[in-house]
Amino acid sequence: MPADPTLLKALGEALQKDPGSVPLRLHLATLLLDSGGESAALEHFVTVLGQEPANVDALRGAARAADMLGDSQRAQGYRQLLQALTHTAEQPKASEPPVSEQATSPQPEPSEGERVPAEPQSGDVTPWWEIEWPNLTLKDVGGMEQVKRRLNVAFLGPMRNPELRKAYGKSLRGGLLLYGPPGCGKTFLARATAGELGARFLGVGLSDVLDMWLGQSEKRLHEIFQHARRSAPCVLFFDELDAIGQKRVHLQHHGSMRNVVNQLLAEMSGVASDNEGVFLLGATNHPWDVDTALLRPGRFDRSAVVLPPDEPARVAILVHHLKGRPAEAVDVRLVASKTDGFSGADLAHLCETATENAMEDSAQTGTVRSISNGDFQEALRQVRPSTMSWFETARNFVLFANESGAYDDLLAYMKVKKLV
């Protein structure tokens, strides 16, 4: 329905007084669209995009206006930008805390990467953990051959073979600890490992457990293990395994740190219950802070270092983050070759920055300019690798606390990279 001309006039005047007001301009532009003023509307939408290149309402409006003006190419351009933006918004966050629990029986069909919504347990106020069937396997993990080999030898091989597991009795109990700088794929690898085993994945952020249930942590740990046992085959993934060690001081006040460790050890050894089909993985950025009791034989007695992605891994990560964006012109291999030391998270950030550069240009002209190598060059000036400070800390431990050889792989890498 066409808008009242007096209203349009009043809005126009208000906007003259306050030209920076985005809501006002969007409102006027939308009314103009329905009142035969598509050309003026488009101008307003473009002005908004000048202020806020990622404004979804302005992009939608601009696409409609361009369509009405018969400029389908330009309309298509705005739609592509919209799509690129929506794609960005759908990227999973790297470190979302576990939030929900899924009912375990009857066995649901393993649908792809599905997270089944929570069904609260009776008496439980908030279901808070999350279980899923990952659709990832190690094939989806680009590069990183060394850690994949380590996972195969130290974890997947024995776990895949129940006979072998039985033959060796308890010696194959315990878990594998993934450690390394932040954002380099520990969680990703843990989920891929579950996918590889055809197992479910139950991820637990330990610092959440400790914070939320100070004093009740043992009970919660037991519940978590019970839940994993009911869901077997299941990879039970403890993220931030160092949280127990780190919070030692904090927890000592409550006298429960020892109890938490003991409870974890009891659950791991399956004294009271059978852990058949429960595969334990841990992750930490600070292996040196993990309580040593947890690292003894039969516990988290194997480890694998997850280093910054190598070149093939970087190619895979870049391709993943550019999917669905107009980035055909980007020489992904070239970018990969220039991003040694970047974490997966850094690379995601780099792609965002390059996309924003291209988008800013495109919004001004209304024609989609694909993301280019130039955008990445520009982005590389803004985004720096974040892993250096981690290696600075690691250096001391690698040099002065490596009697057991636990950090040998890390040491070898740091030598090659001239970080020690």
| Residues within the interface to ligand ATP (CB under 6 A) | 94-95, 141-144, 182-188, 285, 306, 309, 313, 316-317, 320, 344-345
Closest to ligand ATP by CB, 32 vs 136, is 136
* Token pair of 290 as six digits: 């993990």
CB of 130 to Mg ion, least distance (A): 14
Q: Which does 141 bind (CB under 5 to 8 A by kind): Mg ion, ligand ATP, none?
A: ligand ATP
Which region among 179-187, 250-258, 319-327, 393-401 touches Mg ion (by CB under 5 A)?
A: 179-187
Q: Is 187 in the site for Mg ion (CB under 5 A)?
A: yes
Closest to ligand ATP by CB, 29 vs 84, is 84
Q: Is 343 in the site for Mg ion (CB under 5 A)?
A: no
Q: What angle do CA 280, 257, 395 make, to 5 degrees?
A: 65
Q: Which does 188 bind (CB under 5 to 8 A by kind): ligand ATP, Mg ion, none?
A: ligand ATP
- Backbone conformation region of residue 264, classed left if phi is above 0, alpha if psi is from -120 to 50, else beta: alpha
What's the distance, CA 327 to chain centroid?
Answer: 22
Half-sphere exposure of 355 (CA within 13 A, CB side): 25
Q: Which does 335 bind (CB under 5 to 8 A by kind): ligand ATP, Mg ion, none?
A: none
Q: Which does 55 bind (CB under 5 to 8 A by kind): ligand ATP, Mg ion, none?
A: none
CB of 141 to ligand ATP, least distance (A): 4
Phi, psi torsion values for 406, nearest 5 degrees: -60, -30
Tell me the site size for Mg ion, rule CB under 5 A: 2
Residue 211's identity, in one-letter code, is: D
Closest to Mg ion by CB, 37 vs 203, is 203
Q: Is 193 in the site for Mg ion (CB under 5 A)?
A: no
Q: Which does 314 bind (CB under 5 to 8 A by kind): ligand ATP, Mg ion, none?
A: none
Q: Is 387 in the site for Mg ion (CB under 5 A)?
A: no
Q: What angle do CA 78, 371, 64 make, to 5 degrees?
A: 0
CB of 98 to Mg ion, least distance (A): 12
Closest to ligand ATP by CB, 61 vs 185, is 185
CB of 319 to ligand ATP, least distance (A): 9
* Strands of 200-205's sheet in order across: 130-132, 200-205, 234-239, 278-284, 175-179, 302-305
Q: Which does 134 bind (CB under 5 to 8 A by kind): Mg ion, ligand ATP, none?
A: none
Closest to ligand ATP by CB, 308 vs 326, is 308
Q: Which does 317 bind (CB under 5 to 8 A by kind): ligand ATP, Mg ion, none?
A: ligand ATP
CB of 315 to ligand ATP, least distance (A): 9
CA separation for the pair 178, 239 (Å, rounded): 9
Q: Is omega for the bond preceding 181 within 30 degrees of 0, making it cis? A: no
Half-sphere exposure of 38 (CA within 13 A, CB side): 14
Contact residues for Mg ion, defined by CB under 5 A: 186-187
